[in-house]
Chains A and B, each alone.
Chain A
Amino acid sequence: MHQQTSETFDRNAREALADVQLRGALRNLATTFGGRRKEAIATVEDWEGLRDRARAAKDETLAHLDKYLEQFVGNAEKAGAQIHWARDGAEACRIVLDLIRARGASRLVKSKSMATEEIHLNAALEAEGLAPVETDLGEWIIQLAHETPSHIVVPAIHKSKRQIAELFAEKVGIEPTDDVAVLTGAARRILRRSFAEAEVGISGVNFGVAETGTILILENEGNARLTTSLPRTHIAVMGIEKVIPKFTDLDVFLKLLPRSGTGQRLTAYQSLITGTKRRPEDEGPEELHLVLMDNGRSRMLSHPVTRQSLACIRCGACLNACPVYQQVGGHAYGSVYPGPIGAVITPQLSGLKQSAQLPYASSLCGACREVCPVKIDIPELLLHLRAEVTEGTAAGTAAQHGPVKSRPLERLAFGLYARAWSSPTLYLWGARVARLLQGAVVRKGRIGKVGGLLAKLAPPLAAWTEWRDAPPLAPRTFREQWREEQKR
C-alpha cells in the first residue's frame, strides 16, 4: 500500500473500497452507533432545543474567545494550574517535552486525546527517546500496530478481533483468542504496570469551564481517571476552542456528546478537575499543566462560516452518518481528523494546499448537518472551502501555507453553467443543442456506458456511466408540450 495522504484521497478511497474486511467493520459502525444514537436521543424531550442551546453557548464563547480564555486561565491559575500557550503544534510538543525533561521523567502514560494526535505528540516524544504509553484500549492497539486512528471515538474500528488477537500474540505474548473479554483483560493487566510506575500523565480536555477554571474529561474505560490521578504531574493539552462559559452549561453538553458519539446517556466516567489538590494529604497530582494550543484555530475566527468549525465537540456522529466515510473509512482521508468534520477542519488546520481534495470527498447530502449536536453546517463549510480551492485564493491559508493550485477548468465549466441557467434564452438554446448531441449516445432510451473519444472529451460523463445509466433529456420540453396544448 502507498503512503496515504490527503493529496491521494482518490487512490486511497479506491483501495479502501476493495478492502472487504474494512467495509464490514464500517457497516457494523454505521448500524451499531447509528441505531444506539437514535435510541439515546429519544430519551431527551427536546433534542432540537438542546442542540440550539449548545450552539448558542459555543457561538457566545467563540465571539468573545479572548474574554472567556482570560477568565478560564485566571480561574485555573487561582486553583493552582500552570498555563502554557502554544501557537502551533511544534511549540506545544516542545512545551510538553520540556516539562517532562525538567522533571527527569521517563515513564509516561497517555489517555486518548485528538489534540495530541493532531500535533503528533507521540512521534515528537519518541524522537527524543521517550516512550509514552497509550492507555485507551483502541489507542493502545494502534500504537502497538504502529498505525494511526481511523475514527475519532473508536480509533481501531478498522481492525478485526482476529487482527487484534494476532497483534497481541506478537507484541505482548498472549495466546491468540477470539474472546474480546480475554483481550480486554490482557490490556488491563499489562497497562496496570505502566500506571503503577507512571511519573507523568498526559491527557486531552473535552471542556474547559471559564467560570471556574475546571477541565472536564469524558471516557468509558477509566484510563483517563488513572492518567489524571496517579502520576505526580498531569499535563493536559487543549485547543483554545474547548472553553465554555458556565459550569452549568456542562449539563447541555453532557446530554449531547455521549448520545451523539456512542449512543450512551452518559459515558461511564467524567473527571472534573479544577487546578491542583487543596491539601497535601489529598489524592491527585502535585502539578497540573494546561497547554493551550492555537495551531490554526484563531484563523478560523475570522469568518462566521469558518468559525463554526470551532464549535465541534468531537463526538464523531458525522463520521458514522456519512455515506462517504461509511464506504472508505478514516485512513483514506490521509488526515488525523477524518469524515465530514475532518474534511472541513483539516484544510483549515494544515492548509488547503495539501488537502484540496478533502472538501470534495462529500456528496453534500447533509447527513452530517442533520446529526451534528452543535448544528455545524458542514455542507456550507465544504462549499466555502471548494470556492477557495477554485478561486485559488484560500484567503487565510495562503499566507500560511502558500497558494492553492486553482482549478481553471472547473471554474470555466461552472461559469458557463451559471450563465446558461440564469438566462431563459440560453437555457432553452442549450437544451436544444444538448438534445441534438445526445442522439450519439442514447441507446434504448438510456445513456449507457460511454467510451471512445467521447469518454476522453467528457470524463465526468464517462465516470458516471461506467457503473450506471444516465437519464437522457426528454424528447420535448415541458414548454414545448405546453405550447402545443394551448394551440388545441
Chain B
Amino acid sequence: MFDAIRGHLAASAPHDAVRAAHHAAAAHGEDVSARDEKSAAVVFEGTAVERFRQALEAVAGRCFVVKDEAEAAEVLRQIAGQRKSQRVAVSDSPLAGRVLKLAGLPAEVLENAAVGELFDSDLGVTGAQWGVGETGTLVLESDAERHRLASLIPSAHVALLEARNVRHTLGEVLRAINERGEGGLSRAITFITGPSRTSDIELTLAIGVHGPAELYVVVIGGEGNG
C-alpha cells in the first residue's frame, strides 16, 4: 500500500510544481503561522474557573465552586440526597475517595465496581485532571485514575476538580500533556463537556442518551488561579 501512496504522490509532482509557480506568481502568500498566537488569544476577562463555570452551565452542566474538601463533601451529600442515590460508584482517585469519606453518604459505595454493578449504580464519582475554561470541558487521564466507566455508566456523574488545574484554553492543556513526553501520555484520555446529548430525532435536543443525564462539577480551591 505504501507503494501505491508513493507512486501517486510522485505522479502529482509535476502538477504540484505548476501550482506552486502559480501561487508564487499570485504572491498573496500571507504568513499563516504568524496568526497562531492571535487565534489562541484569550478574550475572557475573568478567571479561568469563572469561565469554566459559565461555559459548563451553557451546555446544561452544573458547577459548584467551593473552598475546600469539606465543602465539596457537603455539595456531594446534597446531590446524592436529592437524587436519593442508593449505589455510588467511585473511581480510584484519592481526592474522590477523601471527599466521599467526608460526605459519609447513606448509600452503598462501590470501589472498582464490576460492569454489572455499574449498570445498577445511580451516581458515579471521579476526579478530573484538568478543566478547560473556554469550553467547560473536563479532561480525565487513565494514568491518574480509572475513570472510564464510573464517569460514563451511572445516570449522574459528579467530578471533583482542583481549581489550580483549570486552564483557559484546550491548547494549554494539550501542550501540558504533550510536554510530559511519551511516558506521560495516558492510554485513554477522555474529554467531557456537559451531559450526554443527542439531536438525532428532528434535531430536538435530548439529554442523557447513553452517558450520564446529569453532570455536576465541584471545583475545589476557592477563587482559582485565574
B46 within 8 A of A: no
B28 within 8 A of A: no
A251 within 8 A of B: yes
Contact B152 A229 (CB under 8 A): yes
A85 to B5, CA, bound (A): 13
B interface footprint on A232-276 (CB within 8 Å = 1, 0 otherwise): 000000001000001110110011000000101111111111111
A65 within 8 A of B: yes
Contact A277 B8 (CB under 8 A): no
Residues of A near B185 (CB, < 8 A) are: 212, 214, 247, 274
Residues of A near B5 (CB, < 8 A) are: 65-66, 69, 240, 294, 298, 301
- Nearest A residue to B16 by beta-carbon distance? A304
The segment out of B66-74, B103-111, B142-150, B218-226 that lies at the interface is: B142-150
- Nearest B residue to A293 by beta-carbon distance? B1
Contact A156 B152 (CB under 8 A): no
Residues of B near A22 (CB, < 8 A) are: none
A435 within 8 A of B: no
- Nearest B residue to A294 by beta-carbon distance? B1
Given that A49-B39, A137-B198 are contacting pairs, would A265 and B19 also be in contact in the complex, using a CB cutoff of 8 Å?
A: no
A interface footprint on B17-49 (CB within 8 Å = 1, 0 otherwise): 001000000000010110110110101000000
Contact B19 A301 (CB under 8 A): no
Contact B4 A220 (CB under 8 A): no
- Nearest B residue to A64 by beta-carbon distance? B9
B95 within 8 A of A: no
A164 within 8 A of B: yes
Contact A222 B199 (CB under 8 A): no
- Nearest A residue to B153 by beta-carbon distance? A226
A128 within 8 A of B: no
Contact A220 B198 (CB under 8 A): yes
A175 within 8 A of B: no
A262 to B194, CA, bound (A): 15
Residues of A near B4 (CB, < 8 A) are: 87, 294, 298-299
Contact A137 B200 (CB under 8 A): yes
Closest beta carbon of chain B to A25's beta carbon, Å? 7
- Nearest B residue to A52 by beta-carbon distance? B32
Chain A: residues with Cβ within 8 Å of the partner, total of: 93
A28 to B201, CA, bound (A): 12
Closest beta carbon of chain A to B157's beta carbon, Å? 10
Given that A221-B209, A283-B142 are contacting pairs, would A273 and B187 also be in contact in the complex, using a CB cutoff of 8 Å?
A: yes
B191 within 8 A of A: yes
B interface footprint on A281-319 (CB within 8 Å = 1, 0 otherwise): 011100000001010001111111101000000000000
Residues of B near A302 (CB, < 8 A) are: 8-9, 11-12
A45 to B35, CA, bound (A): 11
Contact A221 B211 (CB under 8 A): yes
Contact B196 A220 (CB under 8 A): yes
Which of these, A49, A79, A135, A265, contacts B210 with CB under 8 Å?
Answer: A135
The segment out of A188-196, A329-337, A469-477 that lies at the interface is: A188-196
Contact A284 B187 (CB under 8 A): yes
Closest beta carbon of chain B to A196's beta carbon, Å? 6
Closest beta carbon of chain B to A308's beta carbon, Å? 11
A184 within 8 A of B: yes
Q: Which of A50, A161, A255 gathers the greatest number of chain B CB atoms within 10 Å?
A: A255
Across chains A and B, which 8 residue pairs bring their CB atoms closest together, nearest first?
A222-B211, A138-B200, A222-B210, A49-B35, A46-B39, A270-B191, A302-B8, A272-B189
30 contacts between A and B (CB under 8 A): A45-B41, A46-B39, A52-B32, A53-B36, A53-B39, A70-B2, A154-B199, A154-B200, A161-B204, A180-B201, A221-B197, A221-B209, A222-B152, A225-B148, A225-B210, A229-B152, A248-B175, A265-B59, A266-B137, A266-B170, A269-B191, A269-B196, A270-B191, A271-B190, A274-B185, A276-B187, A283-B146, A284-B142, A284-B187, A304-B19
